[in-house]
Amino acid sequence: MSRIMKIAIAGASGKMGRMLVDTVLNADCVELVAALDVLQSPMIGLDAGQFMGVTTGVKISYDSVETLEKTQPDFLIDFTRPEGTMSFLPICQELGIKMIIGTTGLSPEQYTILRQASKNLAIVFAPNMSVGVNATFKLLQVAAKILNNGYDVEIIEAHHRHKVDAPSGTALRMGEIIANEFNQELEDIAIFSREGHTGAREAGTIGFATIRGGDIVGDHTVLFAGTGERIEISHKSSNRQSYAQGAIRAAKFLNSKDHGIYDMQDVLGLK
């Protein structure tokens, strides 16, 4: 029988946090042992399963050090914000808690800190943990290899009104995959905004368009526009369940690792 993996969830009272709580409670081989959130959350001190009418015995806490020391989870699943992720990192390093990070908007400097930490800590870091999105990444790699000449590339993404970073981490990762197949660095060929008299589109660039509104969970479309034809590769999320399921798969993958930084392509065996 497989050992039960103990899970802590950061941002437990948010929309993604609640989906993670629900998924962990209904998954095999995992156990919810800790739930964290910011002090301002109205859920502090309440049961992590209260929103779904379930008593888990795990109360949502704002004291991450005390809670993680006391519960000793195997994994921390973190879909919060960069400042939250950076605050959890040294605690997890000290306690040997493996990290599954779905936070977006990390700066290059923060990502460097993650890579340094991975020398002695096992981390899965992915801007999108959906299995479908990661299958889309693989399709884009193939498409970009074929359509690397005579096609203009545009990446269009849409998210809910509360998302604070743009473009999304998923859109940026799509751009990185395509740029790599073009033998370029994304930062050298990305066009993030257009306004006024921009002139003709420069060949070999990758354009980004961002939409924010309503409660859109996450839509991404990559357009390869050639002469006389268009190829569109799209992924649309109707809820956050796929991200949570991907996080559980990441935990199972990371269970046998003692250090290193991995992404969902590693988890899914797509590399």
CATH number at residue 19: 3.40.50.720
- pLDDT (tens digit per residue) in 93-142: 999 999 999 998 899 999 999 999 999 999 999 988 999 999 999 999 99
226 shares a domain with 210: yes
11 shares a domain with 104: yes
12 shares a domain with 116: yes
Structural domain for 211, as ranges:
131-237
The pLDDT score that the predictor gives to residue 2 is 63
Q: What is the CATH number of the domain that holds 153?
A: 3.30.360.10
192 shares a domain with 216: yes
108 shares a domain with 12: yes
The pLDDT score that the predictor gives to residue 1 is 45
264, 126 in Cβ contact below 8 A? Answer: yes
250 shares a domain with 165: no
- pLDDT (tens digit per residue) in 187-244: 999 999 999 999 999 999 999 999 999 999 999 999 999 999 999 999 998 888 889 9
192 shares a domain with 220: yes
pTM here is: 0.81
80 shares a domain with 14: yes
The pLDDT score that the predictor gives to residue 235 is 96
Catalytic residues: 159, 163
What total of structural domains would you count in the chain? 2
187 shares a domain with 106: no
108 shares a domain with 214: no
263 shares a domain with 183: no
